[in-house]
């Protein structure tokens, strides 16, 4: 890194004081979490239903072996679908028990996908508040200097103190806005995955290949409530 850039960063942190240091730490933590979540969703391809749709088509045609073989059970939707199919084939009698176990597994998977969302939410909430705190403290110092100068107040000194105080609010907002946006985007992504889980698992139980007793038991009832 260029020496002038380094010096500018150091001066920026010195002017902002400890509040800016804290906000910079928040931004690094948030960036780490976001990159980790991007990697997790990309690795799992959590929203993909391509193989699930092929499997469901085979399931509706009664080809259970092909239906299970098509699934990539490293993906959360496929894993839940595979479990539902095996449980359904093993027992048509205990549909309610199967449904409860499917829901438990779905909630566990969704909980893993939501891991570290809470720290993002906390950072998004605290960052503007810390920025405001830094501004208030900076304004207090600026007006103390103004009081100490008495009638010999230098406007440049006062304006310099004010812009330094406002700097922390700007940094707080600069950290909070992207974190709020990314947190909302990740939350919506998990909601879409939950909807797809519900849709695919429900199709296992409402397929025409299901026995009449099971069809009647699950008619009009969501198999999974995970939204």
Residue 113 covered by a domain: yes
CA distance 5 to 1: 7
Q: How many domains does the chain have?
A: 1
- Tell me the whole-structure pTM to 2 decimals: 0.76
CA distance 67 to 84: 12
Which pLDDT belongs to residue 7? 60
Residue 39 covered by a domain: yes
Assess whether pLDDT exceeds 80 at residue 173.
Answer: yes
Tell me: the pLDDT tens digits for 109-144? 999 999 999 999 999 999 999 999 888 888 887 777
Q: 107, 110, 108, 86: which is closest to 98 by C-alpha?
A: 86
Residue 225 covered by a domain: no
Phi, psi of 112 (to 5 degrees): -65, -40
Residue 76 covered by a domain: yes
The DSSP secondary structure of 184-219, one letter per residue, reads HHHHHHHHHHHHHHHHHHHHHHHSTTS-HHHHHHHT
Secondary-structure percent of the chain, ordered helix, strand, coil, rounded to 5: 80, 0, 20
Q: How confident is the model at residue 211 (pLDDT cuts 50, 70, 90)?
A: very low
Domain residue limits at 86: 3-213
Residue 78 covered by a domain: yes
Residue 152 covered by a domain: yes
Residue 94 covered by a domain: yes
Residue 223 covered by a domain: no
Tell me: the pLDDT tens digits for 50-73? 888 888 888 888 888 888 888 888
CA distance 79 to 101: 13
CA distance 145 to 186: 46
220 sits in the region (left: phi over 0; alpha: psi -120 to 50; else beta) called left
More confident residue, 3 or 97: 97
CA dihedral 105, 196, 194, 190 (to 10 degrees): 120
What value does the mean pLDDT of the chain take?
81
Question: 35: exposed, middle or buried (C-beta count within 10 Å: 0-12, 13-18, 19+)?
Answer: exposed
């Amino acid at each position: 890194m260029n020496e002038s850039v380094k010096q500018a960063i150091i001066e920026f942190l010195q002017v902002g004081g400890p509040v800016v240091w804290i906000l910079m730490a928040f931004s690094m933590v948030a960036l780490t979490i976001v990159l980790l979540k991007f990697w997790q969703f990309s690795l799992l391809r959590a929203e993909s239903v391509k193989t699930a749709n092929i499997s469901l088509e085979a399931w509706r045609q009664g080809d259970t072996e092909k239906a299970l073989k098509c699934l990539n059970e490293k993906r959360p939707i496929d894993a839940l679908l595979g479990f539902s199919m095996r449980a359904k084939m093993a027992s048509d009698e205990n549909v309610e028990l199967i449904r409860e176990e499917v829901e438990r597994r779905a909630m566990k998977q969704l909980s893993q996908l939501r891991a570290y969302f809470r720290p993002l939410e906390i950072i998004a909430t605290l960052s503007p508040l810390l920025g405001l705190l830094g501004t208030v403290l900076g304004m207090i110092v600026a007006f103390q200097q103004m009081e100490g100068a008495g009638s010999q107040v230098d406007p440049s000194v006062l304006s310099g103190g004010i812009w330094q105080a406002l700097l922390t609010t700007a940094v707080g907002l600069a950290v909070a806005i992207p974190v709020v946006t990314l947190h909302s985007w990740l939350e919506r992504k998990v909601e879409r995955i939950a909807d797809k889980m519900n849709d695919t698992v429900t199709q296992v139980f409402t397929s025409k290949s299901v026995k009449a007793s099971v069809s009647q038991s699950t008619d009009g009832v969501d198999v999974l409530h995970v939204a």
